Amino acid sequence: MSNAPESRSAGGIVQIGVAGLGTAGRAFLPAIEAHAGFRLVAVAEPTAEARNDIVAQNGVPGYATLQEMLAHPGLDAVYVGTPTDLHPAHVAEAFAAKKHVLVEKPMAVRLDQAQAMIDGAARAGVVLLVGHSHSYDLPIKRMREIIADGMLGRVRMVNTWNFTDWIYRPRRPDELDWEQGGGVTYRQGSHQFDIIRLLGGGMVRSVKARTFDWDPARRAIGAHTVYLDFEDGAVATAVYSGYGGFASAELCFDVTEWGFLEPPANRKPVRRPGAGSTPADELQAKRARSKNAIPASAPNQPFFGLTLVSCERGDIRQSPQGLYVYGEQGRSEIELPRDRSPRDLVMAEFFDAISGRAPALHDGRWGLANLEVCTAAIESSASGREIFLKHQVPVPA
């Protein structure tokens, strides 16, 4: 297969369709609109209300399923924002139709499914990109550049903490079941492990972890502590709790996941689903929340909790407007532009890969390596053993 997949549209515009108009799918529409190299030409969503809503707003045809949308004339690429356990089948359908694919994280539930997606992309001669994940965020990308520059020496430790109310937000039942890619280790760990691997160089040797499911009224993996050993001797820890007590925004200048100021006094009390609430109630609440769960722009950089990188000659963390670098001369701040959202950066990487300008970093093999950490953490917690990894890839030079 040639490295530069062929772009099929006139003038290099990539005609893209969005499958799944829930929380994740809706969040990508502004970024697709904003990128001059993409044109939204169709959407697919079985829920008529959501589909009609987006069709009315964007003036593009709406299909009930991805399968139908794949027959839309001139379609080059598809964004797959459907439930995680449906990703393998949906991505295989897109590859059968020779479409480039941007699939949400986690890319699949099982490692063999992810490997099949990688093989499918190679056979079809198309791009497979996994995103959005918070490792695309500009502060994390800039941290990686400082590390690659070498001025602070080698990374020795990466520690990341995130405390949210993830478990008590309205959820479909599969989102709480780790065997369907649910729970915080798959859904939020994916972001943490992607960040850790990008900053640590990619090659995780082993994982030792404990996952927790401590609310009998809300069965799910709701918290974890994960220890990662890298091949080069660096280590990392990822701590996550979705049980809605402490909020890690308090460690991040009161800035939230998507870049908004939320001082503790303004934090809404965490609403646990009532005893009588049914899956149908939660689905309705989730659909209502999905309309504006993820904003298109924000006054601050996104903070996926507190991430602190320790190198031989200094440390790096996020600051309200960028990065704090703690070097031999003390603390200095690097301000970062706020003109591009995290999803704008995903679309830029996708376009560069499709047009052959630059190979993707967050490709299928990178996604598989992140997924391997998710499954290893769950296996380690169940067995009590350290799990050694086989599918790791380095950060490209």
Ligand X SMILES: NC(=O)c1ccc[n+]([C@@H]2O[C@H](COP(=O)([O-])OP(=O)(O)OC[C@H]3O[C@@H](n4cnc5c(N)ncnc54)[C@H](O)[C@@H]3O)[C@@H](O)[C@H]2O)c1
Residues near ligand X (CB under 6 A) are 19-24, 44-47, 50, 65-66, 81-84, 86, 104-105, 132-133, 172, 187, 286, 290
Nearer to ligand X, 19 or 354 (CB): 19
Tokens of 21: 């108009």
Nearer to ligand X, 118 or 283 (CB): 283
State the nearest-atom distance from the C-beta of 235 to ligand X, in Å. Answer: 26
State the nearest-atom distance from the C-beta of 268 to ligand X, in Å. Answer: 19
Residue whose CB is nearest to ligand X in the complex, by number: 22
Beta bridge partners of 42: 17
**Gyration radius (Cα) of the chain, Å:** 20
19 in Cβ contact with 81 (< 8 Å): yes
Nearer to ligand X, 9 or 290 (CB): 290
Nearer to ligand X, 181 or 314 (CB): 181
State the nearest-atom distance from the C-beta of 192 to ligand X, in Å. Answer: 12
Question: CA 82, 85, 86 angle in degrees (round to 5)?
Answer: 50
State the nearest-atom distance from the C-beta of 45 to ligand X, in Å. Answer: 5
Nearer to ligand X, 183 or 244 (CB): 183
State the nearest-atom distance from the C-beta of 20 to ligand X, in Å. Answer: 3
Nearer to ligand X, 230 or 304 (CB): 304
State the nearest-atom distance from the C-beta of 10 to ligand X, in Å. Answer: 27
